[in-house]
Amino acid sequence: MSRRVAVCAVAQIKNEPDIWYQRFQGMLLECFEELIKKTGVTFDMDKGIRNIVTCSDDVFDARTISDSGMADVVGAHLRGEKKSAQNGINALGYGMSMILSGHDDLVLVMGHCKESQSESRNMCTNLAYDPFYLRPLGLDFLNVSAFQAREFMKKSNITDEHLAKIVVRSRKNASKNPFARENGSISEKDVISSPYLSDPVRELHQYPVTDWAVGLLLCCEERANEFTDKPVWLTGFGNCMDSYFPGDRELTSNFALKKAAARAYKMAGVKDPKTDIDLFELNDAIAYQLPLWAEGLGLVPEGESDLWVESDGMDRHHVNLSGGMLNGNPIMLSGLARAVECFLQLRGEAENRQVDGVKRALAHGTTGGAGQHHGVIILEK
């Protein structure tokens, strides 16, 4: 049995603060039509796409069964469709498993999220917590992550200066990415003097509200050449969910990320990520998470990411050249944004941010406050 799945094409719209001029269906349709045009794929029930994996969230869309309102614009009309209401990295892993199992030759993965529609992103994520013990206290993904930020900054000697450097670098990298949200450049001083949202997390440490849609066409190895002459291979996937209650978790242990990464590394035959992987895209919703996840993935020894940030380890290891989630990708799709950057880099299509000789890349996504859930995908040329 084949152990790899091809990504034949990706299509995305630009990340924007408020796509007021288009409903989410229109955003998806643009991506969908581009994928059809690029690959010539059909919806023939024998030879074409029979199954679509979508990624969206009921609360962000303010309608339950959020996938039912857009089946027709993602090609899911009169055929199979499955929804992932977790970070899109899982939608990709799901599509991969549908092909590896032999159930499908082709799977379309389509994701959308309009964070701009709700009054408050924090009110949305407050609803992720139970109504008995956590929701009444006002817990949300931001303030739960702040618990983790304080503990991690102490453990790894990460300072406000380190975080400012990470944010400024993200903006600089994003300015070379034509699909990135346009935030304008800022200085380290701007970051350090931005007000606290939830100590020690400052306003500019957090990713801004963003709308986006994206699509990817996956195919089995045997038929990939029908749709592209430059396939990118998904060779490893792993995910892991940590405990629900924030107090049950060791917040800086990277328990779930280590498990997810180990599974993905094993499947792809990665022995040492530092030398075996050329490019990394990490899910940095908040600035402190970039060095924390780098430790969890085995890119940096535990507790030493302060030195890694200071010595430009982020550039040396080619981390988040897209600008990362920190520059702005909606919460549901940040992992897909990471995978799309890996795809472009592996194809040599990353324009003026292209790294030479990228053969293997890693895309990472998280769901929940303080990274309760992690997913890792390995992509290869």
Partner 1 sequence: MNIEKDNQFVIEGKLALPYQYFSGRTGSRFLIRLRDDKKINGLKCNACNKVFVPPRSTCEICGETIQDNWVEVKDTGTVTGFTVVRYSEPHQPVKAPYILALIKLDGADTPFAHIVQGIAIENMKVGLKVKAKFAEKTTSTIMDINCFMPAG
Q: Which is nearer to partner 1, 214 or 332 (CB)?
A: 332
315 binds partner 1 (CB under 8 A): no
**Nearest C-alpha neighbor of 265 from the set 233, 242, 293, 238:** 238
Q: Which is nearer to partner 1, 192 or 197 (CB)?
A: 197
The Cα 212–Cα 181 span in angstroms is 9
136 binds partner 1 (CB under 8 A): yes
The Cα 289–Cα 191 span in angstroms is 16
Q: Which is nearer to partner 1, 95 or 200 (CB)?
A: 200
Q: Which is nearer to partner 1, 210 or 322 (CB)?
A: 210
| Residue 319 per-residue DSSP state | B
345 binds partner 1 (CB under 8 A): no
Q: Which residues of 163-177 are buried (b: 16+ CB within 10 A; e: fewer)?
A: bbbbbbbbbebbbeb
Q: What sections of the chain are H helices per DSSP?
A: 24-39, 58-61, 88-100, 121-126, 141-155, 160-174, 188-192, 255-268, 273-276, 289-296, 305-310, 313-316, 334-347
Pick the piece of the chain touching partner 1 (CB under 8 A) from 158-166, 220-228, 246-254, 317-325: 246-254
- Residues contacting residue 136 through CB under 8 Å, at least 6 positions apart: none
The Cα 88–Cα 50 span in angstroms is 20
Q: Which is nearer to partner 1, 141 or 293 (CB)?
A: 141
Helix (H, G, I), strand (E, B) or coil at 338: helix
* List 33, 47, 62, 102, residue binding partner 1 (CB under 8 A): 62
160 binds partner 1 (CB under 8 A): no
Nearest distance, CB of residue 256 and partner 1, angstroms = 13
Pick the piece of the chain touching partner 1 (CB under 8 A) from 46-54, 124-132, 178-186, 319-327: 124-132
Pick the piece of the chain touching partner 1 (CB under 8 A) from 67-75, 126-134, 344-352, 359-367: 126-134
59 binds partner 1 (CB under 8 A): yes
* List 2, 68, 225, 243, residue binding partner 1 (CB under 8 A): 243
The Cα 37–Cα 31 span in angstroms is 10
CA dihedral angle for residue 141, residue 121, residue 14, residue 282, rounded to 10 degrees: 0
286 binds partner 1 (CB under 8 A): no
199 binds partner 1 (CB under 8 A): yes
Beta bridge partners of 16: 211
* List 39, 86, 87, 126, residue binding partner 1 (CB under 8 A): 126
Residue 246 near residue 135, CB atoms below 8 Å: no
158 binds partner 1 (CB under 8 A): no
Residues 178-197 that bind partner 1 (CB under 8 A): 195-197
146 binds partner 1 (CB under 8 A): yes
Q: Which is nearer to partner 1, 184 or 195 (CB)?
A: 195
**Nearest C-alpha neighbor of 370 from the set 149, 107, 184:** 149
246 binds partner 1 (CB under 8 A): yes
H/E element, 216 = strand 211-220
Nearest distance, CB of residue 359 and partner 1, angstroms = 40
The Cα 232–Cα 144 span in angstroms is 36
The Cα 137–Cα 184 span in angstroms is 35
Residue 13-52 contact track with partner 1, rule CB under 8 A, x = bound: -----x-xx-------------------------------
251 binds partner 1 (CB under 8 A): yes
CA dihedral angle for residue 280, residue 283, residue 284, residue 288, rounded to 10 degrees: -80
Nearest distance, CB of residue 243 and partner 1, angstroms = 6
Q: Which is nearer to partner 1, 246 or 291 (CB)?
A: 246
Binding interface with partner 1 (CB under 8 A): 18, 20-21, 59, 62, 120, 122-123, 126, 131-140, 142-143, 146-147, 149-151, 195-201, 243, 245-248, 251
